[in-house]
Amino acid sequence: MFGAPPLFAEPLLVGRPNIGDRATFMRHLEGAFDRRWLSNFGPVVKEFEQRLAQYLGVRHAVTVCNATVGLEIAVRALGLSGEVIVPSFTFVATVHVLHWLGLRPVFVDIDPATHNVDVDAVRRAITSKTSGIIGVHLWGRACDTEALESIAREHDLRLMFDAAHALGCSHRGRMIGGFGECEVFSFHATKFFNTFEGGVITTNHDDVAHRLRLMSNFGFHGLDNTDCVGVNGKMNEACAAMGLANLDALDGFVKTNRANYEVYRRRMAAIPGLQCIVYDDSERWNYQYVVVELDQAAFGLPRDILYRILHAENVMVRRYFYPGCHRMEPYRSGAVGAVPELPQTEALSDRVLAFPTGTQTAPVEVDAICDLLSCTQRQAAVVAERCSGSSAC
């Protein structure tokens, strides 16, 4: 700080890729080269889909080139139209997909305890034009799927989940993947489990799976015939090779993330004003997002000052998901109607920080980050104490 070299010589990043065994990846890739079969439902993709379906305990796993396209295909496959209810506190892809497809995203607020959609707000947002709900299992913590399923049944709405963060996480003992009519996972490089780019749509509904497969391949049914509109949403063999190598390594990724998370959580419990996300032992987690809420009064500094201090020390925390989609373009200019007030979303997005973890971050580095946080908080408290009552401050 203040002219001294940063605490870390190299930046510690959120979202550093976890990479499984390179030889396994290369072996699958060599097979694809030998076969001269690189895309369009090759054997590596097929094996990857089978292993995913087995791991998640679902009937169908339809791989896609990324989760954004996966969400678009899912929205089309479920036949959503008009208005779709969605949280604003999410990565902007969830919302862009709807606007991109000509639908109207209807933003709802979140429950500050879970960061997921507030189910009462969902009920209040239903109109005669509502066709569906997209819940987002933020940070891998499941939405209140039971409440959302019952709202969907009651109002005859389609229900799907953006499960981009949730591979390897469970809800009431069941792996996320089989809730709603379908769920969409991201395998982007920054996710705890990656295929460079990629994703999968999971479902237990045979008819939905059929449409997903058609739509991810231009609607083709046979060589010269299309059954419906479609897009090129296919995963290729190289991405699936990465997926197979990373599936073998998945338990190790979780173990590493958990070790880091436990250091963060233990250390932050002793720092006033910081509240680390709780992943309790009642479920399975991937521990990918170490999300921390900062209480400015108790910590002594605003979130954005701490953000700058950490960046100056090469701890590249992220403000996921500031400022909330409804305060981003084109939504804040009213592209989908009046901009709603979402007090919980706005307050939470002003106080969150996501910290580095994953296989490129060691527990000893996490300890050093927490030393820095602790020291910063103590200094802030001293300055606040000295300034109290002083007109110069």
Dihedral (Cα; 42, 45, 51, 53), 10-degree rounding: -110
Q: How far apart are CA 315 and CA 307, in angstroms?
A: 9
Q: How far apart are CA 64 and CA 233, in angstroms?
A: 5
State the CB neighbour count (10 A cutoff) for residue 113: 9
Output the smallest distance, CB 321 to ligand T4K, in A: 8
The residues, ordered by sequence, that sit 6+ positions from 365 with a Cβ below 8 Å of its Cβ are: 8, 12, 356
- Closest Cα partner for 184 from 88, 91, 292? 91
Q: How far apart are CA 139 and CA 291, in angstroms?
A: 8
Would you say 188 or 205 has its CB closer to ligand T4K? 188
Output the smallest distance, CB 141 to ligand T4K, in A: 12
Binding site for ligand T4K (CB under 6 A): 13-17, 66-68, 90-91, 93-94, 136, 162, 164-165, 186, 188-190, 199, 316, 320
Q: How far apart are CA 349 and CA 36, in angstroms?
A: 48
Would you say 167 or 380 has its CB closer to ligand T4K? 167
Would you say 326 or 377 has its CB closer to ligand T4K? 326
Would you say 138 or 271 has its CB closer to ligand T4K? 138
Name the residue with tokens 């947002």.
125
Output the smallest distance, CB 115 to ligand T4K, in A: 11
Would you say 122 or 201 has its CB closer to ligand T4K? 201
Output the smallest distance, CB 363 to ligand T4K, in A: 19
Query: Counting beta carbons within 10 angstroms of the beta carbon of residue 269, is it exposed (0 to 12), middle (13 to 18) or buried (19 or more)?
Result: exposed
Q: How far apart are CA 168 and CA 152, in angstroms?
A: 25
Would you say 62 or 271 has its CB closer to ligand T4K? 62
Provide the CB-side half-sphere exposure for 298 (13 A, CA): 13
Output the smallest distance, CB 143 to ligand T4K, in A: 12
Would you say 108 or 380 has its CB closer to ligand T4K? 108
Would you say 314 or 374 has its CB closer to ligand T4K? 314
Output the smallest distance, CB 199 to ligand T4K, in A: 5
Q: Which residue is nearest to ligand T4K (CB)?
A: 15
Backbone torsions φ then ψ of 43, nearest 5 degrees: -65, -30
Q: How far apart are CA 331 and CA 21, in angstroms?
A: 43
DSSP 332: G
Output the smallest distance, CB 168 to ligand T4K, in A: 15
- Closest Cα partner for 185 from 161, 209, 208, 204? 161
State the CB neighbour count (10 A cutoff) for residue 218: 14
Would you say 19 or 339 has its CB closer to ligand T4K? 19
Output the smallest distance, CB 180 to ligand T4K, in A: 15
For residue 11, cis peptide bond before it (omega within 30 degrees of 0): no
Output the smallest distance, CB 91 to ligand T4K, in A: 3
